[in-house]
Amino acid sequence: MLVDSHVNLHSERYDEDRDTVIRAARNAGVEYMLTISDKLSSTPAIKTIADSHDFIWRSIGVHPHYANEYPALTARELIDLAADENVVGIGECGLDFYYEHSDRALQFPVFRAHIEASRESGLPLIIHTRDADEEMRKLLVAEHEKGAFTPLLHCYTGGPALAEAVLSLGGYISFSGIITFKNAADICAVAEATPLDRILIETDCPYLAPMPMRGLRNEPAYVAHVAEKLGQIKGVTVEAIAAATTKNFFRLFARAKPLDTDR
């Protein structure tokens, strides 16, 4: 049994075959999925997907790419939107200093609104960070001192210092198909050093298809390739990776509950 902890099923790239993609994932052993919010205007589409499948949950949040569209975003707005029982996390949110589709100065207050929502709601914080390791580390440590929340670094591409800081805060790290890429030695080293009880796996589909699917549209079914590579890195079986990452998912996303019956 596998869990894909980060999918973007509302993407227009699935408009022609979304149900087929979901069925293929289930047939590949992906029993559960978390479909992620990129911006609040996507909420109706994301909610429809999650409401239609009892094995798919959703999040509420604004990706840093879209921070400039929500300059007045408040924690209360996020908390209110997260009231539905199939909302299990806050995000994805964070800092992106690579593309900078939103001004850096605006990304910070929007991200802090998410942190406050995570702290007040008790829902984990799903974090996107790129080319902002030190700024992210300092911010998370400072905010954690104000009150606890549980961070998850999704699709991790940063260095060991940020990973270690988040782990010290009781957080988790999720690895994607990037670990299967030939130039991913540094990220694989972080994965090797991360305790198995703090790791999740994901596809971040439709982006970043793992080897041997690289170049194709990514799908939740392909998280099996991530699990296989992570097993090689950790020196354990893929079954051990599946068991650990599934357990970790339900520990972190405590509002999500595994189904009592087989599909």
Residue 87: which CATH number? Answer: 3.20.20.140
User: Using one digit for the tens of pLDDT, what is the confidence trace for 136-179?
Assistant: 999 999 999 999 999 999 999 999 999 999 999 999 999 999 99
**Predicted local distance difference test score (pLDDT) of residue 100:** 87
pLDDT reading at 263 higher than 50:
no
* Distance (Å, whole) CA 82 – CA 24: 29
Residue that wins the pLDDT comparison between 132 and 99: 132
Average pLDDT over residues 170-190: 97
Q: What is the mean pLDDT of the chain?
A: 97
Instruction: Tell whether 19 is covered by a domain.
Output: yes
User: Using one digit for the tens of pLDDT, what is the confidence trace for 27-67?
Assistant: 999 999 999 999 999 999 999 999 999 999 999 999 999 99
The answer to whether 11 and 49 have CB atoms below 8 angstroms apart is no
**Predicted local distance difference test score (pLDDT) of residue 166:** 98
Return the structure tokens found at 103. Answer: 């001004």
Q: Indicate the number of domains in the chain.
A: 1
Please list the residues that pair with 124 across neighbouring strands. none
Instruction: Tell whether 261 is covered by a domain.
Output: no
* CA–CA distances in Å: residue 44 to residues 57, 141, 162, 230: 14, 33, 34, 34
Among residues 175, 177, 214, 170, the alpha carbon closest in space to that of 192 is found at 175
> Residues near 64 by Cβ (< 8 Å), separated by ≥ 6?
93, 94, 95, 96, 101, 102, 107, 110, 111, 128
The answer to whether 33 and 232 have CB atoms below 8 angstroms apart is no
Instruction: Tell whether 241 is covered by a domain.
Output: yes
- In the numeric block, the tokens 């357990």 are attached to 247
**Predicted local distance difference test score (pLDDT) of residue 261:** 55
Instruction: Tell whether 71 is covered by a domain.
Output: yes
Instruction: Tell whether 135 is covered by a domain.
Output: yes
**Half-sphere exposure (CA, 13 Å, Cβ side) for 60?**
25
User: Using one digit for the tens of pLDDT, what is the confidence trace for 219-259?
Assistant: 999 999 999 999 999 999 999 999 999 999 999 999 999 99
User: Using one digit for the tens of pLDDT, what is the confidence trace for 10-36?
Assistant: 999 999 999 999 999 999 999 999 999
Instruction: Tell whether 141 is covered by a domain.
Output: yes
Instruction: Tell whether 60 is covered by a domain.
Output: yes
Instruction: Tell whether 103 is covered by a domain.
Output: yes
Domain coverage including residue 232:
2-252
* Distance (Å, whole) CA 135 – CA 158: 12
pLDDT reading at 260 higher than 90:
no
